[in-house]
Amino acid sequence: MAYVAVDNDERLEEGPQGLQFKSFLGDADTNGAPSPGLGNADRGYLHDQGKPSGGFWTLEYYQSYFDVDTKTVLTRCYATLLPFSSNSDYLATHLNPADLYGPFWTLTTLIFTLFLSSSLAAAITAYLGDPLASLGYDFGLLSIAVPLVYSYGLALPVILWVALRYLGVGEWSVVEAIAIWGYGMFVWIPVSILAVIPISIVRWSLVGIAFGLSGYFLVRNVYPILASAEAKATRLLIIIIAALHLGLAITFKVLFFNYYIVAPDPATPISPPAASATPTAGTGAGAGAGNDTVVEEVVRRLFG
């Protein structure tokens, strides 16, 4: 029987072939802990998931910013409705990391609710004013809502970020800037739905509440970024942001929440349909037929 000589578990020789074995467990470091040795990352099996792959002009670069579940998006949306909470650092507590899916979803949903609610409210007020009035949809409001909402929610934060980078302020990224503005617009979604109520004072109150909550949310999260600049005049940008936000609220009220019930002129009576002008002799069916024709006409104008 032959014996094999082992030298420090590193080299094993047997006979003339000089068979060698090497340990991949690694040696102990100075602190006594074993070194990681050759792992999956060294072999190229694992890749860094923290950095987006590809250039910024590829879809893979933005894929990580849309990798977020619905529960996280809704939690971030609901948190904007409570800007007066004790935890004021929204970037650190909720946007870690920031995403683009939530802001895009919020702004797109707001465009849909603005057009749908304004069209529904116009139909209700027109019917209450004149049941026989012809109803229609103003698709021009949709063409206004799309550039208005996307410009304010996407273009404005990008412009602000570029301006702050020029001034030497790099406390946040462009994705975080878009996320702040996008999630801050969430409060306008329920307000646009409730604005269907045909009462002017109620609509003004809803617009005021939405302006106050979203405006305070923006100021509370943007002003610390502006305050970190060396030039004190940079803080004056918050006045421009507040003015633009006020202009947006007034624009929403005038374009999408501005409708009133106009009663028909009593001096101009509504002419009954021609079918009701020919009653059936000897019976009372003429009036009944006329009333049924009026109802059918109302239904046709509403849903036809």
Q: Give 52-83 pLDDT, tens digit per residue.
A: 555 656 677 778 888 888 999 999 999 999 87
Please identify which residue in the block is written with the tokens 């099996």.
45
Q: Model-level pTM?
A: 0.66
For CA atoms 260, 261, 265, 266, the dihedral sign is negative
Per residue in 134-169, pLDDT (tens digit) is 666 677 888 999 999 999 999 999 999 999 988 888
Mean pLDDT of 174-194: 94
Mean pLDDT in the chain?
73
Cα–Cα dist 241/237, whole Å? 6
Most confident of 28-37, 126-135, 217-226: 217-226
For residue 260, pLDDT over 80 is answered with no
For residue 294, pLDDT over 50 is answered with no
For residue 257, pLDDT over 80 is answered with yes
For residue 209, pLDDT over 90 is answered with yes
Please say whether the beta carbons of 129 and 96 come within 8 A.
no
Long-range contacts of 33-42 (CB under 8 A, 24+ apart): none
| Amino acid code (one letter) for 284 | G
For residue 284, pLDDT over 50 is answered with no
Domain coordinates of the chain in residue numbers? 1-46, 70-256
pLDDT at 2: 52
For residue 225, pLDDT over 50 is answered with yes
